[in-house]
């Protein structure tokens, strides 16, 4: 599960989440069944679960809109610390990404 939240350093409030699955079909419990109506939430969740986690992070940022939260910094795990991801966060969302 990937969770996007707000924190003041002592409190964490989850704002959006996404359940992630594997891109490999043999590692999934339930894949995209062609019989499922594409307009349903279940279909959209299954499709979202197979996205790369970096793409899902940007989807969550789009849902929350950091500008309305007056967010200035985005802190994430080193799994997301690719130069292209950091550049997109800085240029598209105008958020500071701290380095360790």
- End-to-end Cα spacing for the chain: 24
pLDDT of residue 35: 78
Q: Are strands 12-18 and 2-7 parallel, antiparallel or unpaired?
A: antiparallel
| Backbone dihedral region for residue 11 (phi beyond 0: left; psi -120 to 50: alpha; all else: beta) | beta
pLDDT of residue 67: 79
Q: Is 89 exposed, middle or buried (0-12, 13-18, 19+ CB in 10 A)?
A: buried
pLDDT of residue 86: 92
pLDDT of residue 84: 93
Reading the chain (100 residues) residue by residue, the pLDDT tens digits are: 889 999 888 999 999 888 777 666 666 666 666 777 878 877 777 777 778 888 888 988 998 888 788 888 998 888 888 899 999 999 999 999 987 6
């Amino acid at each position: 599960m990937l969770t996007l939240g707000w924190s003041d350093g002592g409190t964490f409030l989850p704002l959006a989440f996404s359940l992630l699955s594997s891109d490999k079909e043999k590692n999934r419990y339930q894949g995209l069944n062609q019989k499922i109506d594409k307009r349903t939430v279940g279909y959209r969740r299954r499709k979202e679960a197979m996205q790369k986690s970096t793409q899902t992070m940007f989807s969550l940022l789009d849902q929350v809109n950091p500008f309305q939260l007056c967010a200035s910094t985005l802190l994430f795990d080193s799994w997301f610390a690719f130069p292209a991801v950091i550049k997109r966060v800085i240029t598209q969302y105008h958020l500071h990404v701290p380095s360790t």
